[in-house]
Structure formats: C-alpha cells, structure tokens
Amino acid sequence: MTTLQLYYAPASTFAQRTRVVLLEKGIDFTAIEVDFQHKSPEFLQISRYGKVPAIKHGDVELYESAIINEYLEEVFPEPPLLPSDPAKKAIARIWIDYANTRLAPAFNKFLRGKDGQEQEQGHREFLESLLYLEQAGLGKLSGEGPYWLGEQLSLVDISFYPWFERLPVLEHFRQFTLPAETPRLYAWWQGLRDRPSIQAVANPTRFYLERFTKILGATSTIATAQQ
C-alpha cells in the first residue's frame, strides 16, 4: 500500500488534529515538516492555500483538516471515529463545524485581538462557547462516557482538542481559566490528554509561551506604531 505523506507544522492546531487521526488509526505515514519561510513547490502543489495539514496518498492530494480527516475515516475505517448512523454522524459534523467556526475564532480573538475591546469581545465569545459546549454538547451527548459521543473517541473530540492544549496560553496572557460551570469539559480534557496519540503530538506549555510571547509582542509593537 502507498505510504501516505503528511505535510505539517508542530505549532499547527489543524495539523495536530490530523496527526492524532493517523495515530489513532495506526496508519503508516511519512511526516514532512513545512518551513513556512521557504515553502517547497511540492507542498504548494498539494496545498493550494499554502496551509497545513496537507496529504498525498497515491494520486490523492488533499488539504483542510476536516476534509482530510473524513477521507481517512472512509479509507481507513478501523477503528471508527464517526458513528455509523447517518443522523448521529450528521450531529458529529455539526460539532466539528462548531469547533472550526465558533470556538477557534473566539479563542484567537481573545488571545490575539488587536486591542482591549476586541480581546474583551473574544473573551465573551470564548466563554459563551465553553458554556454551550458544557450544556448542549457534552452534557447531552456523552452520557456517562468519557468522550464527546460516549464511550469511544471520535473526530469531535479530536477537533476540539488543540485549543484545550493551549489554555495555559490564555491563563498566562489573559488570566483566563476554565470556569467552574464547566466540570464536564474539565473532566473530558483531563482524560483526553492522557491518550498516547494526544501525548505524541502535544507540545509543552513552554513551547506555546515562548511562541506567543514573540507573536503578541510583535502585535503590540505594530498596534502602538499605528496609534
């Protein structure tokens, strides 16, 4: 069978999700780290947006993590990471979309907002997202199971995972921690972070603190210069 090639970057939230899927399914792959300062022609041929993750699997070339992950689910169906029931699968896709379109943007706005007003708006949106996940998501779908859809890990868990790994960044730079009203989210994260696949792709807290010290420092300098 053709070995799959994965183009990734260690700091990429979206690439982490695909890396976890590959590991959970035991798929043989070759990891190719992308230098964003010098993107190779081979990478740009596969990833037309110039973003990671991207994969090459035989003649198949794909980018965008949600699309890649569903491709991997269909081509490598074991162990399953989505329900077989069409309705339950559709619900799972709604939550994956929520991670992409609600939680992630709110996190980024809170952390990287250009000024205090934008950061405060991000704070409100991120907090609202977490409370919604607690009440409408885990509270209704997981039952007594440790994962989003119950007893088995799914693409939903994997889709939310990277932003919880980065919570120490919000704590350090924005004095934010998970609210007391989200005990199920806290328990879910404490269990998820111990999975071997998660530990294999996780970055230490100091990696994020050093990275965002540079990023946020540069952003602050630009904002000051524009005033």
Tokens of 68: 């890649």
Torsion of CA 95, 157, 181, 205, to 10 degrees: -130
Dist CA 198 CA 33 (whole Å): 18
Dist CA 190 CA 192 (whole Å): 6
Cα 17 → chain centroid = 5
Does the structure show a pLDDT above 80 at 112? yes
Name the DSSP class of 2.
P
Does the structure show a pLDDT above 90 at 226? no
Q: What separation in angstroms does the CA of 196 have from each of 55, 200, 224?
A: 22, 6, 43
For 209-216, the CB contacts below 8 A with 24+ separation are 209/168, 209/169, 209/172, 211/11, 212/111, 212/169, 212/173, 215/112, 216/111, 216/112, 216/173
What local confidence, expressed as pLDDT, does residue 1 receive?
Answer: 54
Q: Tell me: the pLDDT tens digits for 180-212?
A: 999 999 999 999 999 999 999 999 999 999 999
Name residue 1's amino acid. Answer: M
What mean pLDDT is reported for the chain?
A: 93
What percentage of residues in the chain have a pLDDT greater than 90?
A: 88
Region of poorest pLDDT, from 92-101, 102-111, 134-143: 134-143
* Helix boundaries (H) for 29-103: 41-46, 65-75, 86-98
Please tell me which residue, 128 or 143, carries the higher pLDDT value: 128
pTM (predicted TM-score): 0.92
Q: Tell me: the pLDDT tens digits for 47-104?
A: 999 999 999 999 999 999 999 999 999 999 999 999 999 999 999 999 999 999 999 9
Q: What's the chain's length in residues?
A: 227
Does the structure show a pLDDT above 90 at 21? yes
Rg (CA), the chain: 18
